[in-house]
Structure 1
Amino acid sequence: MKSPLPCVFDHPNHADITTRLPSEWAPWPRDDSSVNHHVLSTSKTPSRFKKNKLRWPKRPVVFISDPHADAEAFEASLIAAGVAERKKKAALGQLTLTKKGRRTDIIVGGDCLDKGPSNLTLLRSVKQLYKLKARVTLLAGNHDLRLLMGLLALARKKDIGNQHFFVRMGKKVVPLFREVFDEYLADTKWDKKIPDEDTCRTLLFPGDDWFKEFPFHAAGFLTVEGIDREVRKMASKNHSFEKHCLAAGLSLRQVYATSLKCQQLFLHKKGEFNWFFRKMALVAKRGSFLFLHAGLDDSMAQMLLKNGTQYANKAFHRNLKRRDLFSFYYSSIANTFRTKYRDADLPLTARGVDAIHKAGIHVVVQGHINRQQGQRVAIKKGLVHVEADITLDSHSRKVEGLDSYGIGATLIDKTTGIVGLSCDYPTAKVMSANELKGIYE
């Protein structure tokens, strides 16, 4: 039954945002006609759930994932969640924290980059939260790390394990390159020390022997399905990457020059966005809730059980510094921001789920899998997942037939429970603390 929604966004300057949001809440849908028809049910709940006490985060949590370079959607979602506000006519990047925002954990679930329309503005919006001393946790997303792998691979000696990482970024990184070129290089003598087009192609693309040698190089690291998927994906991207660059008005010389500029911006100590990868975490645990971008596998489950989230985050950063990019990107650590529990991904079995429960983790909150009708709660691999990627960026929304930019956030608090707020669903979905607690008793 619908009820009035307690106002979490009471800002008169933001009628354009509030009018697009639901004004009522209803229990999280479970009927067969809803998009959540196979979600949480006691009959599906693993027995261990009922033996362990569910612990809620000490502070309220706002989880916003997959903004994909849409600063307007990201900031609107912060405002909708009640943690930020913006003075009338203020530009993007000029948010201030509300009273609620100062006492709330804001977790950005990864995939800040790619697709567009505003990669650089989105990064500056996230940085603004740090400047405001908000309680921000920035998680690693697969799109974010793909950029890092591409930039690092270009800076290192080519080998079979790393020479495909630049082109592997694919067409979705092209808007970022376009933005960087226009802002930093267009009015400079960018081409002064840049080699010719053919040399740039050789520097950026994998060699002719890659497709023959990679399956042997990856044997033992990836599943058979994973190797086949990687080779097929690269065949497509190798064929189309240059075409996508040219369609955006970028020659390979310009792409190469832009990549060097991105190395300076993201990797050098004085680079404007040096903070981005440095502040990034792999996982965050609040009470019995684990926040990450994608999912888990058995090895990561064991790591979290034996060593905890702090160790996992340190391992993530130490592995990023290794020279062998291949062993990092196809490891259990990287699987955490890439998996969709496909045959090609590292497996999560009953053994891993048991370890996760023993580690005191009962709910995984993730991005990565975009939903068109708001958040979804589901049992996957015997583990409760809150799928919180609600298609925020205007690029994806246009492709999927959705209007404008997206607005929404997942709110987690022991007083109200789990709230799924989205402009694409008629009510706010609420799973009360008592309702979720009842599963464990």
Structure 2
Amino acid sequence: MPRPALPTIKSRPEHADIRARLPLTCCDWPLEKGSADSSLRNLTSPSANLQLDDDWHWPRRPVIFISDPHADPQAFEASLVASGGVKLKDTAGSGHFTLTKAGRKAEFIIGGDCLDKGPSNLQMLRSLKRLYDTGASVTLLAGNHDLRLMMGLRSMQQKRHTGNAHLFARMGKKVIPLFREVLDAEPGRNWLKGVPDADTCRKRLLPGEDWFERFPDHARGILTEAGIARELKKMRSKADSFERHCEAAGMDIRTVYAVARHCQKLFLKPRGEFYWFFKRMQLVRKRGSFLFLHAGLDDAMGALIARRGLKTVNKRFRKALKGDLFSFYYSSLANTFRTKYRAADLPLTEAGVEAVQSSGIRALVHGHINRTRGQRLALQQGLLHLEADITLDRHSRRQEGLRGVGCGATIIHPKRHILGISNDYPFAKVFRPETFNAAR
């Protein structure tokens, strides 16, 4: 069977660096044990509960999936170019690009975690908005980093209680670059006008000692004892270090309070520049036999999808964002953008997988778990997961020992194949279900 063609990237000076970093040829998705992608060694086992049959349905048009850009607009725009969906008018990251013919025919699904890490949250959001403004078909999925900002800002608007007093500090140090960017964007603004004293700001933003005493009783029945202990440990570290990290970025607690209030206007008010960001966000998207989401599923979500359908799931997500934030953040809905299938996460068992498969879903496509050798296929209780967080942002890449800016995209094509493109793997990986059937 001939291998699919790689996306066409226009021969333009703006694309030269991107073209030079991308693979030139395709290979079948590696299967052999000990390969660069050895996660597939169990996929061909007869005991694997995979649905690799003729019942797979493919999207009607190509789906371009890009996830976890983490405030790196250059990596985001380079990935759009790598998909063949856009052409640059200027350097990547400038927000100056237009759709190609292929981009007009495709659907772009952005897998969440657009915020945090850097180098520029604001330019990343503007680049994403530019994608909408081109007339592209865009679906934006909720990521844990994105929603932590929303919950932190919303918690400031609510009467403080045990369930929400920790949500601002829970954003942690990763939100500080965004606050610094917002501060620097208006150097002439009198930021401290009307801002209360430092102790008052501290009490409004950070959990006090009494919160650590009350939280176990409040969370019991929602979290496991192990989950409660994990949350207390995490919050102790974040609360104790938050001001120190802010001061390292040149902001005292009063300035942080002022900037956070301004972020409420930017993100939560209809006239705010980034109000569209949370407004357009969805939890899940299904195309053909593929379910797109940020992280993964558990049994309760599998049952809900099978029983009520994805429209109901997204409606419940939108409603939950306006309700009790504590109940939402530790629920199955939020597990969808948080899980890494750890012991502390809500479980996915064979029962959940059977429910998901009964609704016609054969594979999950998600981000959240960064990979350093391109996209990976993996199994969770026999359910196929396509892990497509290919470490785009330069902050994460430095931590992982990777060079430069990341670049790549995952394309699910109507011609019954998946193409995984990454500048960190020498070939574009090609997956076809029939290939795996033959191997089995």
Q: TM-score range by the shorter chain?
A: over 0.9
Deviation at 1:33?
2.2
Q: Secondary structure at the match of 1:170?
A: helix
Aligned to 2:217: 216
Distance in 2, matches of 1:353 and 1:238, equals: 38
- Could you state the TM-score of these two structures normalised by the residue count of structure 2? 0.95
Distance in 1, matches of 2:92 and 2:429, equals: 31
Deviation at 1:89?
5.4
2:176–2:249: 8 Å Cα contact kept in structure 1? Answer: yes
Q: Secondary structure at the match of 2:424?
A: coil
2:163–2:218: 8 Å Cα contact kept in structure 1? Answer: yes
1:301 corresponds to 2:263: no
Aligned to 2:357: 357
Aligned to 1:108: 110
Deviation at 1:401?
1.4
Q: Percent identity?
A: 55
Alignment of 1:326-405 (within 5 A): 326-405=326-405
Q: Secondary structure at the match of 2:39?
A: coil
Choose 429-438 or 411-420, whichever is displaced more. Answer: 429-438
Distance in 2, matches of 1:101 and 1:426, equals: 24
- Could you state the TM-score of these two structures normalised by the residue count of structure 1? 0.95
Distance in 2, matches of 1:2 and 1:437, equals: 17
Distance in 1, matches of 2:267 and 2:335, equals: 23
Deviation at 1:4?
9.4
> Which letter maps to 1:73?
A
Alignment of 1:41-52 (within 5 A): 41-43=43-45, 46-47=48-49, 49=51
Aligned to 2:236: 235
Deviation at 1:415?
1.9
Q: Measured at CA, do residues 389 and 153 of structure 1 come closer, stay the same or move farther in structure 2, by a change above 3 Å? A: same
Distance in 1, matches of 2:277 and 2:420, equals: 27
1:68–1:112: 8 Å Cα contact kept in structure 2? Answer: yes
Q: Secondary structure at the match of 2:388?
A: strand
Deviation at 1:218?
0.8
Query: After the TM superposition, which segments of 4 or more aligned residues of structure 1 sit over 6 Å from their partners?
Result: 1-4
Distance in 2, matches of 1:411 and 1:23, equals: 16
Alignment of 1:160-171 (within 5 A): 160-171=162-173
Alignment of 1:3-402 (within 5 A): 6-13=6-13, 14-39=15-40, 41-43=43-45, 46-47=48-49, 49=51, 53-88=55-90, 92-184=94-186, 186-322=187-323, 324-402=324-402
Q: Secondary structure at the match of 1:429?
A: strand
Deviation at 1:90?
8.1
The alignment yields a C-alpha RMSD, in angstroms, of: 2.0
Distance in 2, matches of 1:302 and 1:236, equals: 36
Deviation at 1:32?
2.2
Q: Secondary structure at the match of 2:168?
A: helix
Q: Measured at CA, do residues 334 and 198 of structure 1 come closer, stay the same or move farther in structure 2, by a change above 3 Å? A: same
1:2–1:26: 8 Å Cα contact kept in structure 2? Answer: no
Q: Measured at CA, do residues 364 and 208 of structure 1 come closer, stay the same or move farther in structure 2, by a change above 3 Å? A: same
Unaligned runs of 5+ in 1: none
Q: Measured at CA, do residues 126 and 343 of structure 1 come closer, stay the same or move farther in structure 2, by a change above 3 Å? A: same
